[in-house]
Chain A
Amino acid sequence: MTDLSRRSFLSAVTGAGLMAAAPKSWAAAAPSALSKFGGDWRLGVANAPAGGYAPSALTRLHGQMPKGLSGTLYRNGPGWFRYGDDVTGHWFDGDGMIQKYDLTAAGVCHTGRFVDTVKHRVEQKAQAIVMPGFGTKGRADTPVTSNDDVNAANTSVLRVGDELWALWEGGSPYRLDAQTLLTRGPKTFRDDLKGMAFLAHPKVEPSGRIWSAGFMGARAWIWQLSPSGEMEQGAIIDLPAAGYAHDWVVSERYLILPMQPWVAKTRTPPFVDTLVWEADQPIRILVVDKTDFSKRRLYELPAATYFHTGDAWEDRDGTIRFDVCLAKSPQFGATGARDLVKGIYKGDEHTEAHLALITLRPNGKAEMELTTASAEFPQTDHRVQGLRHDLVAHVGGYLKDRPGAHMLSTHNWRTGKSDTHDFGHDAIVEEALFVPRPATAGGTGKEADGWFVGTVLNLKAKATELHVFDAGNLRDGPVASWRSHHATPLGFHGTFAQT
């Protein structure tokens, strides 16, 4: 029984890679929230209806559904932030809510539902923020028996068979029925692996094999799953530092773990307060052979911080390259995203991430090519996960008086050219996903032969919109757009299931 120690619990909960200040009312925060543009950005961090969104058809603004584009866009993000003036400590700690957009020739239908997590259930019953999280201290008298008790299931989704997994990063995937979005419970891959951390950014090879990781201090657990989501193998690997990692990259032959010098030093929640930014330390990039985890190489580059990568590929000579959105400081994660849920935004260019290409040479040398494009939520053609790609899409363009991007862009690494559509200052642009044009609709299988499908929160219209772009031509604007009856809270990541 002595193993039931506080230390092991704390390690598991606080070290798993997740992010309190006295909550302030919207009224108190109003001066920074009401800016020169037409709408109020706080719509993006307002509570969604507790009962979710009933199915409703979006209103078509212009264009027609392109021939061959059919399927479901699932998006996950925090949807519940406050009970009165009791506000969650961090944007990343809002309760996970899935938005489901069904695209057919007839148009777009939307529905949304909260993931029925332990955290959501306990807090809805208490009508208070009580659970600890990434940046939330929680209440000392609230029982917590495992990291899945505090699992917000709010970051991304993975479609596996007839299930949709709602992903966090410090606990198990939450299993949902992909059609009804009803929660089935946490996924246990094996009895001895119950509750293990599972990243919100698993990588799916062209073969369908799924790779994921979980982090605990200076150790990582590597998940190798079959295309149907069953355990193939897993193992612990030692990391060069206990650096925070929200994402990683996987190439054809390698697992690539960039460990930024934002390092966990203590174990006391909330997790983000355990992290110390060591600007004099390098970002250490560990490269592990997929077939033999003991074969590893380590690269170093000057300090940089990131949340999201695009994808990796290998050149013929063994050089590894991957796209990533790099920032100079982790200030947004440390404090900026805490302010957001309190209705406060302080623009800071040092927190802005820019698109970069990192190159890891076989001789041990590493290079960082930083572009001038402000960038987040990078997305690539998932058919070639881990293989050569030219195109990366991302949101970008930030304003001083409100959070969120107002542009959608692509960057072509081969040509160096970018392509951008600016939605204007009333729009907060969310992640856009590449959807390939199927062969039945004349698809060639080539990169960029397809569409980007993404959502935008229109602050002026107070509504979320869904836009479809020709992937090779963003500058001419969306080929078709629809508007929802709701302004759904800003989400993080999604997946598109083609039908």
Chain B
Amino acid sequence: MFKPLLIAALLSAAALPVAAETLTVTFTKAQPKGAIMVALYKGEDTYNGGKPVKAETVTVTGDTATVTFEVEPGQYGIKAFHDLNGNGKMDFNPFGMPTEPFAFSNNAVGRMGPAKWPDAAFDVSGPTVQNIAF
């Protein structure tokens, strides 16, 4: 009888923010149109195929765009793409190659695929800034 309540209590406790830090992500060298879709991943496992801890859409009207996240300390990675045509998704050509710009935290670049976690990972332990160029 008490078990569900206990689980609910534990879950809500786990969801309580631990000292939130501000992560500021600034994108540069962007084309002034559409929106940048930003996905923030906590830890290697989620970066490599799990769900992002946060996701934001930033409208782009100049060559730079900024988004902030309030996050608990930890190790994070960012995947972003520039939705130039505003259709809400990353577009690919008929052979499966991306046709819209994409980028990763630390300006890491992959080799025929996404940037690898060791290259894209960064620590948040206080106010943190990521400058990512398209």
Contacts and interface: CB of A to CB of B under 8 A. Distances in A.
A3 B96 CA distance: 9
B26 interface: no
B99 interface: yes
- Which secondary structure characterizes the binding site on chain B? loop
A244 to B, nearest CB: 16
A192 B93 contact: yes
A128 to B, nearest CB: 15
A146 interface: yes
Interface string B38-52: 010000000001001
A196 B95 contact: yes
A189 to B, nearest CB: 10
Residue among A12, A132, A141 having the largest count of chain B Cβ atoms under 10 Å: A12
A141 B109 CA distance: 10
A140 interface: yes
Nearest to A138: B111
Interface residues of A, number: 36
B1 to A, nearest CB: 41
Contacts of A167: none
A226 B91 CA distance: 25
A307 B10 CA distance: 67
A136 B40 CA distance: 35
Interface in A1-30: 1-6, 8-13, 15-16
B95 A3 contact: no
24 contacts: A1-B39, A1-B52, A1-B81, A1-B114, A3-B98, A4-B81, A4-B90, A4-B102, A4-B114, A6-B113, A6-B114, A8-B97, A8-B98, A9-B110, A11-B96, A143-B109, A145-B110, A146-B97, A191-B84, A193-B94, A195-B93, A196-B93, A196-B94, A221-B95
Interface of B: 39, 49, 52, 79, 81, 84-85, 90-99, 102, 109-114
Interface of A: 1-6, 8-13, 15-16, 132, 140-147, 191-197, 214, 216, 219, 221, 236, 269
